[in-house]
Structure 1
Amino acid sequence: MAYTIDKSFALASKEGASQKASNKYLILHSTANLGASAKNNASYEKRTWTTAYVHFIAGDGIVYQVGTPGYVAWGAGPKVNGLSPVQIEMEESADVAKQRRIYNTYIELARDYAKKYGIPLTLDTTGNGVKTHNWVSQNLGGTDHSDPYGALKRIGIDKTQLAKDIANGAGSSVATKPATTTSSKPAVSKPAATPSTGIKWIAQTGVFTITDSDGIKLRSGSASVKSPLLAILKKGNTVKYNAYGYAGGYVWIRQPRSNGYGYLPTGNASGNKRTSYWGAFK
Structure 2
Amino acid sequence: MIRVKLKSKLALTGAATMAALFLGLNASAARMDMVDVSNNNGYMSNAEYVSMRNEFGVKALTVKISEGTTFKDGYAASNIANGQVAGLYVNGYHFAHYTTKAQAIAEADFAGQAAQAAGLPVGAVLATDVEAEEQGSLSQAANDRNNAAFMKEIQKFGYRADIYTSGSWANNKMTIKGKTGWVAGYPYVMAGQKWYTNNNAWQWSGSAHFRISYGGFDVSQLYTDYYTAGQKSTVKPTDKDAVKTNNQEANKHTSKPSASSKWVKETKTYTLKTAVKLRTGASTSSRSITILPAGTTVKTDQAIIQGGYRWVRQPRFSGYGYLATGPASNSLEYVKTGASHTYYTVKPGDSWWSIAHRNGLNMTTLASQNGKTIYTTIYPGQRLVVR
* TM-score normalised by L of structure 1: 0.36
Q: Write 1 or 2 for the structure with the bigger share of helix.
A: 2
* Structure ID, larger Rg: 2
Structure having greater relative contact order (Cα 8 Å, sep ≥ 6): 2
What TM-score do the two structures reach when normalised by structure 2? 0.28
